[in-house]
Structure 1
Amino acid sequence: MKTLIALLRAVNVGGTGKMPMADLRHLAEEVGFHEVRTYIQSGNLIFATKKTPSDAKLLLEQKLDSYAAKPVGVIVRTAQEMKQVLEANPFPDAEPSKVGVLFLDHAPPPDIIETAKGQADEVIQPGKREVYVHYPSGMGRTKLRLTAASQGTVRNINTVSKLVKMATDA
């Protein structure tokens, strides 16, 4: 069995997509995942499975679709991939709460920086299947819009770090 991390899109953020984490854990157990845990109320799921990451993603998306009666986007990473995301942080000296990682299923578009809207003091750095953004003035104040954001989900470095720790402690 391998440990995987699933990141749900638009769950319990800004009053939309309400989903109790107990329900998420229950759904994950119903599809056959083991050692199921969640972290904070924003759709972070850690679990063990023999399934591939893509099969686990599909199972979880299908179960969530039934639960929510609408599609719920899911990004899945192995524990090792999440650790690599943390290690590749191009802003290691920045306050972790001011560095966001946009997780995607694919490589970011090559024009991700050029097509950004509302950029002020934010610094954007594409990664393998993620986009790192340093928000010197804070994530809550930003007007930055990345076109790829509609296909992914953002977590700050504090959350990424905690997910790595939870996944490697499993």
Structure 2
Amino acid sequence: MTTTYAALLRGINVGGAKKVPMADLRTLMEGLGHGGVRTYLQSGQAVFSSAHGDEESLAAELAGAIEKRFGFGVDVIVRDHAYLKAVAEACPFPAADLEPKQLHVTYFSAPVTAERYAELDRSAYLPEEFRLGDRALYLYAPEGLGRSKLAEMLSRPRLNKGLVATSRNWNTVVKLVEMTES
């Protein structure tokens, strides 16, 4: 059985570092035996179908191939359509009423519990807010991610120890659901 997935690459093509041309990424993924490979934007999203592996093994395979081909490590999270759709549908914020730059989802490599953020004084960051979901964190940042003090705090290594985490704005969240549906 073939499943459609999205691969989320963390930190590529940002500020001239870790350059991964999308055409080269598509070719690399096709060389791994994946079908229907398509990329979205330059910031590290690829959709593909595969009849073998699971999310973790596919992520590890792609990360290894990228390191071998481009000479640097990249964190990769792979998620299937059902998961991406469920995350979008479970959004605790009124996505339809917000500008896409105000709403972000951080995808995690493993489940995250509220205890991880227990010491964080959430009221100090209002009106910014976050809520946890299934291996995801929803962030409402009214002024956008670039100006978000809460996003800066949430990205600190001590809060994410042992996790791969990568964030996408709401437009990308929705687009990945659409792209993996076919």
Q: What's the offset of the Cα at 1:120?
A: 5.0
Q: What's the offset of the Cα at 1:116?
A: 4.6
| Pairing 1:101-120 to 2, within 5 Å after superposition | 101-116=105-120, 119-120=125-126
**Could you tell me the TM-score, scaled by structure 1's length?**
0.90
| Pairing 1:7-156 to 2, within 5 Å after superposition | 7-51=8-52, 52-92=54-94, 93-116=97-120, 119-144=125-150, 145-146=153-154, 147-148=159-160, 151-156=164-169
Q: What's the offset of the Cα at 1:148?
A: 2.2
More helix by share: 2
- The count of residues paired between Structure 1 and Structure 2 equals 169
Deviates more, 1:111-120 or 1:10-19: 111-120
Equivalents in 1 of 2:45, 2:120: separation in Å? Answer: 26
Equivalents in 1 of 2:77, 2:46: separation in Å? Answer: 10
Deviates more, 1:87-96 or 1:25-34: 87-96
Gaps of 5+ in 1: none
Equivalents in 2 of 1:129, 1:164: separation in Å? Answer: 16
Note if contact 1:108-1:126 (Cα within 8 Å) is conserved in structure 2. Answer: yes
Describe the superposition over 1:75-113 as per-residue Cα deviations: whole angstroms up to 9, x where unpaired: 111011101111011112332221111101111243344
Equivalents in 2 of 1:36, 1:124: separation in Å? Answer: 32
- Structure 1 residues 95 and 109: CA distance shift in structure 2, 3 A: same
Gaps of 5+ in 2: none
Deviates more, 1:49-58 or 1:2-11: 49-58
Equivalents in 1 of 2:127, 2:116: separation in Å? Answer: 16
What amino acid is the match of 1:131? Answer: L
> Quick one: percent identity of the two aligned structures?
38
Note if contact 1:6-1:44 (Cα within 8 Å) is conserved in structure 2. Answer: yes
Q: Tell me the secondary structure at the aligned position of residue 106 of structure 1.
A: coil
Aligned-residue Cα RMSD (Å) equals 1.9
Equivalents in 2 of 1:28, 1:69: separation in Å? Answer: 16
Describe the superposition over 1:49-76 as per-residue Cα deviations: whole angstroms up to 9, x where unpaired: 0122222112111101112323210011
**Could you tell me the TM-score, scaled by structure 2's length?**
0.85
